[in-house]
Amino acid sequence: DGGITQSPKYLFRKEGQNVTLSCEQNLNHDAMYWYRQDPGQGLRLIYYSQIVNDFQKGDIAEGYSVSREKKESFPLTVTSAQKNPTAFYLCASNIGTRGMNEQFFGPGTRLTVL
Amino acid sequence: AQSVTQLDSHVSVSEGTPVLLRCNYSSSYSPSLFWYVQHPNKGLQLLLKYTSAATLVKGINGFEAEFKKSETSFHLTKPSAHMSDAAEYFCVVSDVYTGNQFYFGTGTSLTVIP
């Protein structure tokens, strides 16, 4: 089965800790994205990557970091600098044809800061 | 600049009655438009997409949408609501000039009353 996997499904973090959310795809897609979802605010773009070893900041990149060392993997680290990290995080991928094809989404990770 | 406005944050319908979820977009050139559905604590699933082919687009689960360039609209409809349609719906726009970025509306929560 082709698709996107995210792990873990639920994640709890103490204040001051960094945590890393995993995102893997086997769709052979070039582009990958991280979104944050808060109630009533839709999806906001954190980072995106169009190709291996390259990524760009989205609208709310502060307090987050990413890497794209492999085509199939795009992990997101939530650092202690992120003031309000409790949210639902969604990873997506896209074949990379300048917006003409849809994004595919993972099942999400719910992060809670204790 | 690209943007999406979902005109209703909440819509309630009775089971068996028609569904209308409204979406207006702003795009500099020929847009690609998408509707996604999200059930609680899940990822987003594509319902349908418009990418400059037929203006009336049919999707999964009986949903369809019509692209109206003169009105800059892409409203989602279904003739008869089912209980399983209760979910959050997102309208998304992209075009070849957005660098493979996607712009999300804030979502419409659909309630289906038995």
pLDDT band at B77 (very low <50, low <70, confident <90, very high): very high
pLDDT band at B27 (very low <50, low <70, confident <90, very high): confident
Which of B44-48, B54-58, B74-78 has the least mean pLDDT? B54-58
The confidence score (pLDDT) of residue B76 equals 98
Chain A: nearest CA to B102, how far in angstroms?
7
CB-nearest to B96 from A50, A99, A107 is A99
What residues of A are in contact with residue B44 (Cβ under 8 Å)?
A: 90, 92, 103, 105
Is B3 within 8 Å of chain A by CB?
no
The confidence score (pLDDT) of residue A21 equals 97
Chain B: nearest CA to A83, how far in angstroms?
22
Mean per-residue pLDDT, B12-20: 98
Q: Which two tokens stand for residue A82?
A: 């992120």
Is A89 in contact with A60 (CB distance < 8 Å)?
A: no
The confidence score (pLDDT) of residue A70 equals 96
E strands along A2-108, which residues?
4-7, 10-13, 19-25, 31-37, 43-51, 54-57, 64-66, 76-78, 87-94, 104-105
**pLDDT tens, residue by residue, A52-80:** 999 999 999 999 999 999 999 999 999 98
CB contact under 8 A, B100 and A97: yes
Mean pLDDT of chain B, nearest integer: 92
What residues of B are in contact with residue A96 (Cβ under 8 Å)?
A: 100
CB-nearest to A110 from B41, B104, B105 is B41
If you count them, how many residues does chain B have? Answer: 114
Q: Over 90: is that where the pLDDT of A114 sits?
A: no
For A100, how many CA atoms within 13 A lie in the half-sphere containing its CB? 9
Q: Which amino acid is at B81?
A: A
